[in-house]
Amino acid sequence: MAVGREEVEIVKPRSDKREYRRIVLENSLEVLLIGDPETDKCAASMDVGVGHFSDPPGIEGLAHFLEHMLFYASEKYPEEDSFDKYTSQHGGGTNALTGSDHTNYHFVANADCFEEALDRFSQFFVKPLMLSDAVKREIKAVDSEFQKNFLSDSWRIGQLWSHLSMEAHPYHKFGTGNRQTLEVQPKAKGIDIRQELIKFYEENYSANLMHLVVYGKVSLDKIQDLVVQKFNAISNNNRSRLHISGDPCSWEHLQVLVRAVPICDDHTLQVQWPIPCSIHHYKEVPCGFLTHLIGHEGEGSLFHALKRLGWATSLSAYESFVDSNSSFFNVFIEMTDAGNEHMQDIVGLLFKYIGIIHQFGICEWIYNEIAAVSKTMFHNQDKISPMSYVVSIASHMKLYPPKDWLVKSSLPSKFNPSIIRAVLERLSSRNFRIFWVSKNFEGETNMVEPWYATAYCVDKLNDSTIQEWMQHAPSEHLRLPVANQFIATDLSLKKTDKVMYPVLLRKTSFSTLWYKPDTAFSVPKATVHLKFNCPYACNSPHAELLARIFKHLVFDYLNEYAYYAELAGLYYGICRTDDGFELNVSGYNHKLRVLLDTVLKAMADFTVKPERFSVIKEKLTKSYQNFKFDEPRFHASYYRSLILNDHSWPWEEDLEILETLKPKDLSGFAPTMLSRAFLECYIAGNIERNEAESIVHHIEDVFFNGTYPISKPALPSQLMTSRLVTLDEGASYVYSTEGLNPNDENSALIHYIQIHQDDIILNVRLQLLAFIARHEAFHQLRTVEQLGYVCSLTHRYDLGVHGLQFTVQSAVKCPKYIDTRVQSFLKSFESKLSEMSKVEFESHLNALIESKMEKDKNLWEECERHWEEITDRTFLFDRVETEVAALRELTKQELIAFFHEHIRIGAPKRKVLSVRVYGSKHSSDLEADKNEAVGPNTVLIDDIFSFRASQPLYGSPRRGYELMEVHSSSK
């Protein structure tokens, strides 16, 4: 049988210049080919139609384990981890995920590596090697992944949902696997786990169950030829898809209230209704319509009522797929302490709102509005990374006809009230289950989920329970949303000058304006970045906390208004910085100015509402208290920042201060915070020069002009910036501490090598070194030594200072031991670097150059690059070109000399900070390590702040505006 090429017109966005073609290989593998002559990367995603629902009984996690194993080696490419090494050294990477009914494998690499990368990838599915030694080692990696997730509430509660379902239904299964299920239990039963892997692969990895997406720079004909060559050899045993009949929940799992104890101190409520999977009505989008209404946050919505009552801080509604026949409709609510006391009222109000939808809500105008916004977003969507793109398509190909592979459910086009009502009928008081999660239930439960040990209990509710809760719920004015005034209707593209880099249009004592019109992406979108340099916003922990509450309250006050903008593709964000805060507004340019002006007015007219202050304070307090439940690697990162950043404070002090704050403190602070400011503004996209200047004039009028101005220009002496501690050359610093969560067995190490301040020549040497070593480190520390699931080597850039950082999280070895293995790796890497051939060196060098020259895929990527140069005050908008030029001059000898000078063990300029966080499993090692004698060049840090005070600081790399010239008009 010849390759089938059914002529299918695949619907694509109007702005999409890529070419698409569907083919079916002789082995029945269905493939989508994507040709993009503008891409710098190639990518592919293979979606195999089998997941953990197909795990054999008693070997939970086998599908996930197989996903791990396919990356190791193949008969054609037997070198272990060679595919990951190949993609890493050619500007890309690999990953995979195991779902309930599918497993997805994917990669990305530089476009000129297309053929070889595709060949290596195809061998996963043609002839993989699953050697015994690799199988034994990778069980440890799967178990480490499980241990990483063991104290994660999202994993724990998700598994509880599955546990409380029919045992005969595959939804009941435990999909991740661990050492118990993949080694201990099989061995006790005399099962050879390697043979089970091979059997599972041979039975389930059939070409007729696979969907492939391939993305390349070459022509579709060339891509097709390569795909046929590489993938036709995949076996087709005509395996049938797993057929699942029946719902995951029987009557005993419905009309129940499940109370569960979380790890974090939060109160959450999840109401679930089993429903038929809505994918069969993807043009009618019944669940999309209902999530739009139930999850709405505008005035009159359920969330607005709960927020006004002080009972909830967030609400979301969504459909979660179980299989092609079944789903759950979910409403998830984060509750305040007060809300936790009113759980029954909250559920009563939810069912009241569902009743309003029954009575008034299935309106064609609402559907048409959703469809109009969806159509605009589809046809003006931004390009994303090729790997993300192929994964998003391949994961859904089995669900949609080929013509809608790109569209999926994103273009509603058939208003059908009866289909919407059929789903709405399922959201009844006879068909639900409630998961109520709170620390308050400690000691009140009588059951334990077997895999994650989550304590819970189940109460059966009768038919009249919800009716009683509805009757007793408060009388809130619930209503449907009104028409959305933020929907863009002017999507025209404006004529602007061709400008390669941002230009400085304006500078005053109040502000500066940088401007860059869109000359590359041709989308009706724009962005305004605004940085408030406010010296009084960040000069103490007290000020920092009040500034943070200010930010949250601005969001809180605007939520009902701004939610409509968000639905229409307009977004804003406020984030705290080391010297103030940033405001960003972005999206369709037509109504952008309306949203921006409203946000600015809310900041300028800010007043404190005591009841909302209390809610935000409670939320922040819990975030600080729950920090101790984060993974140890995040704690290690926190300690590294606390040691090195001169403008940071310990979370315990923040929490202590936070508990004392009152509304009057913020009332006095907010005017002070804004009383002195200097604004840096960057406006880019589909916007004209005069519009940009008008925006900044308006901002200055709001804050600096008028009879009683809110702000005065910040004085030069007030514009301080955070600086980094300078470590001494030739010294190693060690900070050891016990983990913050006594129940977490995992430990973590950060091995940070501080190297240099921003300098083009040194930058590219470090970048190339990290580029070469990244895979080598992962392979040695993670794959070979199995120190932990999380093992990474990254290039860090902090406050103008560059460095190299190893991060390892482990439940099997203590941090000190891992530190010795990092040092051992550096010694072995030194030899590899010296022995590297000229051809290999140039291959790495060229791959890095190609990666750096990758074009921005969308307006936001370009803007973020430029905004970073502006906020750092480095202004090297041509940084990529400058660094590429420096890379072209770099020799192997210079790279080795750089390594010997800064990184090699014993190097004269080597400056190392090791942060060691000891989990409960290694607590005895902590005392032994603290009492062990150290060498002459090793400094033990006992008191972080005494150490910080004793060290010099790097100078600020930020440049001033004094000598910078304003760009004159080209007219």
pLDDT in tens, 631-660: 999 999 999 999 999 989 999 999 999 999
pLDDT at site 936: 84
What are 788-844's pLDDT values in tens digits? 999 999 999 999 999 999 999 999 999 999 999 999 999 999 999 999 999 999 999
Mean pLDDT of 17-43: 97
Compute the distance between CA of residue 382 and CA of residue 379 in angstroms, rounded to an integer.
Answer: 9
pLDDT at site 463: 81
Q: How far is CA 123 from CA 72, 87, 135, 362, in A?
A: 11, 15, 18, 51
Q: Say if residue 4's pLDDT is above 80.
A: no
In 252-263, which positions are buried (b, 16+ CB within 10 angstroms) versus exposed (e)?
Answer: ebbbbbbbbbbb
Structural tokens at position 874: 């480095």
- What mean pLDDT value characterizes the chain? 96
Could you tell me the pLDDT band of residue 5, with boundaries at 50, 70 and 90?
low
> Strand, helix or coil at 214?
strand
What are 209-233's pLDDT values in tens digits? 999 999 999 999 999 999 999 999 9
Mean pLDDT of 683-689: 97
Q: Say if residue 87's pLDDT is above 80.
A: yes
Secondary element (H or E) of residue 684: strand 676-685
Mean pLDDT of 468-477: 94
pLDDT over 90, % of the chain: 94
Compute the distance between CA of residue 87 and CA of residue 118 in angstroms, rounded to an integer.
Answer: 10
Could you tell me the pLDDT band of residue 2, with boundaries at 50, 70 and 90?
low
Q: Say if residue 970's pLDDT is above 60.
A: no
Mean pLDDT of 538-557: 96
pLDDT at site 307: 98
How would you write 103-135 as a 3-class SS string? Answer: EEEEEEEEHHHHHHHHHHHHCCCCCEECCHHHH
Q: Say if residue 316's pLDDT is above 50.
A: yes
Compute the distance between CA of residue 786 and CA of residue 811 in angstroms, rounded to an integer.
Answer: 10
Q: Say if residue 131's pLDDT is above 80.
A: yes
Q: Say if residue 720's pLDDT is above 80.
A: no
Known catalytic residue at 67: yes
Strand 911-918 vs strand 747-757: parallel, antiparallel, or unpaired?
antiparallel
Could you tell me the pLDDT band of residue 589, with boundaries at 50, 70 and 90?
very high
Q: Say if residue 698's pLDDT is above 80.
A: yes
Mean pLDDT of 770-776: 96
Q: Say if residue 502's pLDDT is above 80.
A: yes
Query: 106-115, 240-249, 566-575, 597-606: which range is least confident on average?
Result: 240-249
Mean pLDDT of 344-373: 97
Q: Say if residue 1's pLDDT is above 50.
A: no
Could you tell me the pLDDT band of residue 6, with boundaries at 50, 70 and 90?
low
Burial class (CB in 10 A: 0-12, 13-18, 19+), 591: buried
Q: How far is CA 794 from CA 142, 382, 637, 751, 808, in A?
A: 23, 28, 13, 11, 12
Query: 309-313, 319-323, 496-500, 829-833: which range is least confident on average?
Result: 496-500
Could you tell me the pLDDT band of residue 961, with boundaries at 50, 70 and 90?
confident
Give the residue carrying structure tokens 């606390």.
Answer: 642
Q: How far is CA 862 from CA 111, 615, 764, 865, in A?
A: 21, 37, 21, 5
Q: Which of the following is catalytic: 30, 138, 319, 862? A: 138
Q: Which distant-in-sequence residues (6+ apart) come within 8 Å of 949 by Cβ?
A: none
On whether the CB atoms of residues 802 and 795 are closer than 8 A, the answer is: yes
Q: Which of the following is catalytic: 30, 60, 67, 544? A: 67
pLDDT at site 523: 96
pLDDT at site 402: 97
Give the residue carrying structure tokens 């998700």.
Answer: 158
Could you tell me the pLDDT band of residue 879, with boundaries at 50, 70 and 90?
very high
Could you tell me the pLDDT band of residue 78, with boundaries at 50, 70 and 90?
very high
pLDDT at site 212: 98
Query: 276-280, 344-348, 703-707, 752-756: which range is least confident on average?
Result: 703-707
DSSP state at residue 346: H
Structural tokens at position 291: 């999530």
pLDDT at site 971: 41
Compute the distance between CA of residue 225 and CA of residue 216 in angstroms, rounded to an integer.
Answer: 12
pLDDT at site 853: 95
Structural tokens at position 292: 């739009």
Compute the distance between CA of residue 847 and CA of residue 768 in angstroms, rounded to an integer.
Answer: 10
Compute the distance between CA of residue 757 and CA of residue 770 in angstroms, rounded to an integer.
Answer: 16
